[in-house]
């Protein structure tokens, strides 16, 4: 099974070996962290009932630097301390995941930084959170999956092209909201549509504590796009149709890009560029595997 095609469930040995390799790479891979990181920590900490009682040596986790130990001992109730140390661990494991994605060929620094900033484990059921930083798609309920980190990064890299940042982006298939959160780091505004109501609600719940101001979530059929908001300079589909819906092609800005998985059993990632009001070009990028794009809502 190639890494690009890794899917749930994974064997225990593949998980353990992957983790070891990832930890090694993490030693050489240090990326700057942006502000969402703090928001995520606040979000994680906000679930905790704050109780103040003395911090003892048993609360200090192995691997903490003395400076961190001092800070926690001075300011942090012990319950929060345990959660914070979890968050430090997730930073490191996430860094290893980003390194792996870079190794698979994603080069855009902005995209890699966005991947480092977004806490993928907060978009999963707690029972699956320990697998959040493995390069695999994972179930999110309703027969849908959270996309693989590599493919999220690759699609956003292609969407950006040579641009530093995108203006208005449309995502079809919010799912749990993870990709929308990554997109929010490289676009001024992100619009995301989901057709399954409980998933739309779940994404709202996961995104709320992260307080990302530039994401708008819609419940509806993404195949119709959002004509009232169009044109978009980027459109990204997280589900595969036999072809790209005409409405979405029409809602692209001239000079805009659309990235989509296309196909049924055999799928390929396509980049569509709108070169004029009446002309689009298609580039086939690589094989991929996505859940199907379906019409209507449920």
Helix (H, G, I), strand (E, B) or coil at 273: strand
**Contact by Cβ (8 Å): 233, 167:** yes
Over the Cα atoms of the chain, what is R_g?
Answer: 20
Binding segment for ligand SAH (CB under 6 A), chosen from 33-41, 62-70, 174-182, 255-263, is 174-182
76 or 171, CB closer to ligand SAH?
A: 171
Tell me how crowded residue 20 is: count the other CB atoms within 10 A of its CB: 10
- Nearer residue to ligand SAH within complex by CB, 90 or 148: 148
DSSP 252-265: EEEEEEEEEEEESS
In sequence order, which residues have a C-beta less than 8 Å from that of residue 253 and are 6 or more positions away? Answer: 231, 232, 233, 274
Instruction: Determine, following the binding rule CB under 6 A, whether residue 117 of this chain makes contact with ligand SAH.
Output: no
118 binds ligand SAH (CB under 6 A): no
First to last CA, the chain: 34
Q: Which is nearer to ligand SAH, 134 or 193 (CB)?
A: 193
Does 153 engage in binding with ligand SAH (CB under 6 A)? no
Contact window for ligand SAH (CB under 6 A) among 13-21, 39-47, 61-69, 195-203: 195-203
Q: Which of 26, 134, 238, 248 binds ligand SAH (CB under 6 A)?
A: 238
Q: Which of residues 214-233 bind ligand SAH (CB under 6 A)?
A: 221-223
Name the residue among 189, 198, 211, 23 with its Cα closest to residue 119. Answer: 211
Structure tokens at 134: 């493995």
Q: How far is the CB of 196 from ligand SAH (least distance, A)?
A: 4
Q: Which residues make Cβ contacts (< 8 Å) with residue 261, sequence separation at least 6?
A: 237, 239, 240, 267, 268, 269, 270, 288, 289, 290
Q: In the stretch 90-109, what mask flags binding to ligand SAH with x, by CB under 6 A?
A: --------------------
Nearer to ligand SAH, 172 or 186 (CB): 172
Determine if 193 is a binding residue for ligand SAH (CB under 6 A).
yes
* Tokens of residue 230, six digits: 């169009």
Any idea what DSSP says for residue 234? Answer: E
Is residue 194 within the footprint of ligand SAH (CB under 6 A)? yes
Task: Judge residue 222's burial from the number of C-beta atoms within 10 Å of its C-beta, 0-12 exposed, 13-18 middle, 19 or more buried.
Answer: buried
173 binds ligand SAH (CB under 6 A): yes
- Size, binding site for ligand SAH by CB under 6 A: 25
What CA–CA distance (Å, rounded) separates 165 from 159? 10
Give, as ranges, the residues between 119 and 148 that touch ligand SAH (CB under 6 A): 144-147
Residue 178 touches ligand SAH, criterion: CB under 6 A:
yes
In angstroms, give the least distance from the CB of 237 to ligand SAH.
Answer: 8
Residue numbers annotated as active site? 147
User: 44 vs 293, which CB is nearer to ligand SAH?
Assistant: 293
Instruction: Find the shortest distance in angstroms from Cβ 239 to ligand SAH.
Output: 4
Site residues for ligand SAH per CB under 6 A: 144-147, 172-176, 178-179, 193-196, 199, 221-223, 238-239, 291, 293-295
């Amino acid at each position: 099974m190639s890494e690009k095609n890794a899917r749930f469930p994974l064997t225990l040995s593949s998980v353990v070996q992957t983790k070891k390799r990832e930890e090694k790479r993490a030693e050489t891979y240090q990326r700057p962290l942006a502000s969402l990181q703090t928001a995520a920590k606040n979000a994680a900490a906000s679930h905790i009932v704050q109780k103040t009682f003395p911090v003892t040596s048993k609360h200090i986790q192995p691997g903490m630097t003395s400076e961190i130990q001092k800070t926690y001992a001075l300011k942090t109730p012990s319950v929060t301390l345990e959660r914070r140390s979890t968050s430090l661990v997730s930073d490191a494991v996430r860094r290893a995941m980003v390194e792996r994605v870079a190794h698979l060929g994603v080069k855009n620094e902005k995209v890699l930084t966005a991947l480092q900033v977004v806490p993928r484990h907060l978009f999963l059921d707690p029972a699956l959170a320990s697998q959040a930083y493995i390069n695999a798609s994972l179930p999110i309920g309703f027969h849908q999956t959270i996309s693989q980190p590599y493919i999220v990064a690759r699609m956003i890299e292609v969407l950006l092209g040579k641009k530093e940042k995108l203006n208005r982006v449309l995502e079809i298939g919010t799912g749990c909201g993870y990709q929308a959160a990554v997109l929010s780091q490289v676009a001024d505004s992100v619009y995301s549509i989901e057709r399954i109501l409980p998933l739309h609600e779940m994404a709202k719940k996961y995104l709320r504590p992260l307080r990302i101001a530039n994401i708008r979530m819609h419940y509806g059929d993404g195949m119709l796009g959002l004509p009232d908001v169009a044109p978009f300079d980027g459109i990204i589909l997280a589900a595969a149709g036999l072809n790209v819906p005409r409405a979405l092609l029409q809602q692209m800005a001239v000079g805009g890009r659309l990235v989509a998985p296309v196909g049924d059993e055999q799928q390929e990632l396509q980049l569509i560029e709108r070169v004029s009001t009446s002309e689009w070009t298609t580039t086939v990028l690589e094989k991929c595997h996505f859940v199907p794009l379906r019409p209507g809502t449920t």
